[in-house]
Each structure stands twice: as structure tokens, then as C-alpha cells.
Amino acid sequence: MSKLTVLVLLLALVGLSVSPAPRRPVNVNINKEKNDLKWWNEGKSTLLTSRTFESIVGKDNFVVVQFCATFSKECEALQAEYNKLAEMYSGATPKHTNVMIGKIDGWTFNSLSQTYAVKRFPTIRFFNKNDATNSDEYSGDLNADKMSEWIENLIKAKEAPKTEEKKPEEPKKEEAAKEAPKVEAATETKQPEATNTQATPQAAKTEEDVKKEFKLVLNTTLLQAQFDEVQAQLNKLSEALTKNIADNFKKVDTLSQAFESHKTDFHSLSESLRGHGDKLQQLGNNLNDHKDDIKNSVTQHAENHMNNLKDSVNAIKNKVHERRVEEPSGPGFMHNLIFMVIGGAVGAGAVYLLSGGSKKRRSMLD
């Protein structure tokens, strides 16, 4: 088998056996079409996966996550209010810049649902900053305003200890101001005003930078997660392709070996047929060589048999003639006797017919 033939067989087998793996959209149920999941894929809330969940939850921001299932009618009915809630924290004037509203397919990522004791869909949980294990479950009305009120109360409760720690410092500053001279106090009172006027734009700028930085980090994280998923799919496809190519090489080797073995069998059969053909050719030549001898022999035997038959017939004729001479009641006597009997029968029949015919005529006349 030539190398070109092996290559053609290999390409044919690869084309038949290798088929691209079906791509499944992230967080899309396999029993639904993409057009049926617009309510899930679209909206202001951030669509999470297991990787983006781990990279965002428990970091520098508060995160509200809706555990849902794409086949759940209750989840589909909730999305309008949940999108309103997401707009409250991601619009032009968000209530807080460090709060992210997200959602995840809890049916597809079942391990996360089990980790956070999600027993029904939808379930909304509030995750604290820097602690993914610290979360609260929402149990109120599925209304955007009610959910926002719940989020604000949790944020106040989480940030309350920090404000209490700052309060004891204020009396110390007031006591220091009382002990200082009046001139110094006057200068001190003027300086904070200047600093306050300068600090306001600085604080606004810092808040805007934090907001931009948060969005940048979020987008980078999402892009990284999508890139990782695409990379994982490419790796799986590469592994499957490599495996299929290796299997096809094995199949080609097996076919090549089988062909070689059958090729040997075909060669042996051809040699055997060629040997039988030579024997048949030799037998035909022998028959041609003995054809005239056989023809002459058959002709001689036929002539001998014909002569023997003629002699036998003549002998029988002589015996019959001898019996005719010796026996008067031979064949001639019998012929004469037969002719006499036949003549008598014909005469009697004629007499009978003539007598019967006359009687019928008389009866008809009467």
C-alpha cells in the first residue's frame, strides 16, 4: 500500500469519526432554545459562573446573588423586579458603588447551591465583603424597593462597628483644641475650612476612580473567566482530536496489516489457479495429440460391430430359409390360410348385409 493511499484513508476516517463537540452556552439549560432564555441572558444584573463567583464574592465589595434555574417560571417572573434592583446599584446615580447585583444558574452549578444551602429557586443571598462564608438570605417580598431596603439595612449593620470606632477620637480633638492658645485655635479652625474646600473635589475624584476601577476589575474578571472557559473547551477539543487521530492511525495500521495478510492469500490463490491452469492446458494438449488415435479406434470398432451385425443377420436369414424348405406349414402355408379365412368372412358379411337390407326395405314399404 502506497503512502498516498494510507494518507487518503486516514483523512477519510478522520472526517467520518471526528465531529465537533456541541457548544453549550454558559448558564443555558440544554432543554431550552437560546431565544427562550432572553429573560435570563439579558438585563442589568451580572451573569455569573462558578469561576466568576469565586473571583468576585468575598472580595472588596458587597455582592447580592440570585440563585436561579433557567427552567423555573418563578425565576422568570422575578427578573423584571431584579433588573430594577440592579439598575438602582449600577445606573448613573447608584445608591452604592461597592455593591454588585449578580445572578447564577444554581441548577447548572449545583455545587455552589449545596455549599450555600439553596433549597429552592429563586433564592437571593447577600454576601459580605472579604468573607464569602458570611451571607444572609432574603425572605421578604420579591419587590425591587423591598429588596433594596433589605440591602441598605444589611450594609448599615455591616458598617456600623467602623463608625463607632471613629467616634471616640472626636472628644480628643476637642480637648486638644481647648488646651491650645486662642490664636492657634483660630488658625486651626481656618485650616480645616481650606482643607475641606480642597478635599471635596479630591473625595469626588477618588470615588469616581474607585467606581471606574471596580468596573474595570469586574470586566477584567469576567473576560478572564470567559477566556478560561474558551481555553478549557479548546483543550477538550484538542484532546478529543488527538485521541481520534491516534485511534484512526491504529485503525489504518490494522487495515494495512489485514490488507497485507489478504494480499499474501490472494497471491497464493493466484499461484494455485495458475498451476491448475497449466495442468488443464497440458491435459488439452494430450487430448489433441490422441484425438486422431481415438477417432481411428472408434471408427474401427464401429466397422467391426457393423460387420458382426451383418453376419448375424445373414445367418438368421439362412436359418429362416432352411425352415421354409423343411416345413410345409411354414410361413407360406400360414399366409394362404389367413387369406382363406379373410375371404370367407368377407363373403358371409356380404350375404348378411344383402339379406338384412331387403327386409328393411319391405318394412318401410309396408
Coil, helix or strand at residue 129: coil
- Contact call for residues 109 and 50 (beta carbons, < 8 A): yes
Lowest-pLDDT range, 194-208, 228-242, 295-309, 310-324? 194-208
First-to-last CA distance in the chain?
A: 118
pTM across the whole model = 0.39
Angle among Cα 256, 258, 262 to the nearest 5 degrees reads 115
The structural domains of the chain, with segments of one domain joined by +, span: 23-164, 331-365
Contact in structure between 125 and 136 (CB atoms under 8 Å): yes
Residue 271, SS3? Answer: helix
pLDDT of residue 49: 93
Write the CATH number of the domain with boundaries 23-164: 3.40.30.10
Closest by Cα among 133, 125, 77 to 100: 125
Asked whether 132 and 57 are in contact (CB, 8 A), the reply is yes
pLDDT computed for residue 52 by the predictor: 93
* Mean pLDDT, the chain, integer: 75
3-class secondary structure, 102: strand
Residue 259: pLDDT band (50, 70, 90) is: confident
User: How sure is the predictor about 348, in pLDDT bands with cuts at 50, 70 and 90?
Assistant: low
| Other beta carbons within 10 Å of 285 | 10
Q: Which residue has the higher pLDDT, 18 or 107?
A: 107
Q: In this structure, which amino acid lies at residue 206?
A: T
Report the residue count for the chain: 366
User: Does residue 85 contact residue 147 with C-beta atoms inside 8 Å?
Assistant: yes
Evaluate whether 110 touches 74 at the Cβ level (below 8 Å): no
Q: How far is CA 188 from CA 142, 157, 192, 193, 304, in A?
A: 52, 35, 7, 9, 164
Map grid coordinates 495442468 to a residue: 279
Q: What pLDDT sits at residue 118? A: 93
Q: Is 70 exceeded by the pLDDT of residue 160?
A: yes
Cell numbers linked to 168: 471616640
pLDDT-based confidence at residue 358 (cuts at 50, 70, 90): low
